[in-house]
Structure 1
Amino acid sequence: MFPAMTMPPMLDPARHALFLDFDGTLVELQDDPQAVRVATEDLDRLIELQSRLNNAFAVLSGRRIADLDRFLSPLRFAAAGVHGLERREAAGAETVHLAGPSMLDPVREALRMPLAAEPGLRLEDKGTALVVHYRGRPELKVMADRVADEAVRGVADLSVMRGHDIVEIHIAGMDKGRALASFMTQDPFRERVPVYLGDDTTDEFAFAEVARLGGIGVKVGPGESVASHRLAAVDSVHRWLALEPDADGGAN
């Protein structure tokens, strides 16, 4: 049974820690993942908001951190990339890789021929994760699922995650919820109330962790979720981020 979801309370920079997904939350989903753009006014708002939060601000994404940096420049921020397999604990800190790409070599080889046989499926190699895309070709979902499941058969310590028009294979033992939990153990996130915004099934791990910590989970867009609140779409996210708390501190 999923809880009824309501409009989230206003963000309180004095006591909240803000965690944001990227695709489908800060930017609209695109057929070409490299074609996304963050509007200048939205980027300026994020830079200002990070300062008001005293840097208790992080982006948690399936993207590589290097890609997030390119899309969000000149913003410098804490981040978890590839669902937590890449980690940057603070703005300006070094990116740490929790697993090496060679662990996925058997899967790369297993995917090579099936993907060559179906041009509608496209492979994105993130190094520590492999993503089979079928955006714009929903009829290929069953094939993408089957190809991914067959590729990991017999290979230990891998996880298959399904999202919006993708199937992702990565090293097991890490997800956005665990990444968020790690951030919450250290400054400047420690002793704040976590707020997480995300749109996809891969964000459910973070919503569950936020609920465990007594925070606020915000589902972006339609669909069932364990999140406690909802915003309708990407433009709703940016309007919500622009809201100012009441003089008494605003939201809970």
Structure 2
Amino acid sequence: MTFESRALAPPPPFPDADRPALFLDFDGTLVEIAEEPHLISVPTHLNESLAALSRRLEGRIAIVSGRAVGNLDEHLDLAAIAAAGSHGGEMRMAGAKSANPLAPIAIEAADAVRVLVGEHEGLMLEEKPYGMAVHYRAAPNAAETVIERLETLAAGHDLAVKRGKMVAELLPRGFNKGAAVHSLMMTEPFEGSLPIFIGDDVTDEDGFAAAAELGGFGILVGPARDTAARYRLEGPKEVYAWLTA
């Protein structure tokens, strides 16, 4: 993956004429990041805005998140919107009742993660259908231990470790947001469109790269950093402004 260190301009006006497809991260992109995942504040207009975008794009919109699809359903109305959860580990097309089943991580590895979290005060475990995320925002001194233990477990169980903002996750190898974009772009109504991936975290870099590979681009949300994205917006408010301009 190529990362470029450069000043990023805001994206050009939303390109209706180019038949765009939107792939949207959730935390840090559509909602502000909270101290714990369940403490997020979802804007009252968000579901209405997503529904309007879906109509405008003829269904070419998907939420691509590290959260499980079932968890996204607790915060959003996704009945008519595709969703890829667990960093691409589960997929549900618009109108479907359930996500495609994928193999969860080994019971032994999951138990080891639970033991790790129990050893350190302040760690928070987020169990997903296809992964185990350890949040260490409240225990930053445990970060090195968490990452080291998860990487050891990954090596022993043919798994992968995804790192994000104050979180590390153990999940099956080969799942990432870029793979989710590639999969969705091979299906209707996304096929043949221009993919735009919007996200804030390092886990979104795979999505930025996939969008670029397929002729589109990525938009980084938040502070500037080395990134595969082509453009940047300051935060969720600026994302809404760009999408609805």
TM-score by length of 2: 0.92
CA distance, structure 2, for counterparts of residue 235 and residue 179 of structure 1: 25
Alpha-carbon offset, residue 161 of structure 1: 0.9
The 5 A counterparts of 1:50-199 are 50-73=54-77, 76-99=80-103, 101=104, 103-156=105-158, 158-199=159-200
CA distance, structure 1, for counterparts of residue 178 and residue 137 of structure 2: 25
Structure 2 equivalent of residue 10 of structure 1: 13
Partner AA of 2:239 in structure 1: V
Alpha-carbon offset, residue 216 of structure 1: 1.7
CA distance, structure 2, for counterparts of residue 132 and residue 54 of structure 1: 37
Q: Bigger shift: 26-35 or 65-74?
A: 65-74
Residue 47 of structure 1: which of 33, 40, 51 is its match? 51
What is the percent sequence identity of the aligned residues? 38
- Answer whether contact 1:47 1:75 (CA < 8 A) is retained: no
The secondary structure found in structure 2 opposite 1:186 is: coil
The secondary structure found in structure 2 opposite 1:188 is: coil
Please state if 1:21 is matched with 2:25.
Answer: yes
TM-score by length of 1: 0.89
Runs of 4+ in 1 over 4 A off after TM superposition: none
The secondary structure found in structure 2 opposite 1:96 is: coil
- Answer whether contact 1:197 1:217 (CA < 8 A) is retained: yes
CA distance, structure 2, for counterparts of residue 219 and residue 123 of structure 1: 27
The secondary structure found in structure 2 opposite 1:40 is: coil
The secondary structure found in structure 1 opposite 2:75 is: helix
Alpha-carbon offset, residue 148 of structure 1: 1.5
Q: 1:18 to 1:205 in 2, by over 3 A?
A: same
Structure 2 equivalent of residue 250 of structure 1: none
Q: Calculate the aligned-residue CA RMSD, in Å.
A: 1.7
CA distance, structure 2, for counterparts of residue 200 and residue 54 of structure 1: 28
Structure 1 alignment gaps of length 5 or more: 244-252
Structure 2 alignment gaps of length 5 or more: none
Q: Bigger shift: 106-115 or 49-58?
A: 106-115
Alpha-carbon offset, residue 138 of structure 1: 2.5
The 5 A counterparts of 1:217-228 are 217-222=218-223, 223-228=225-230
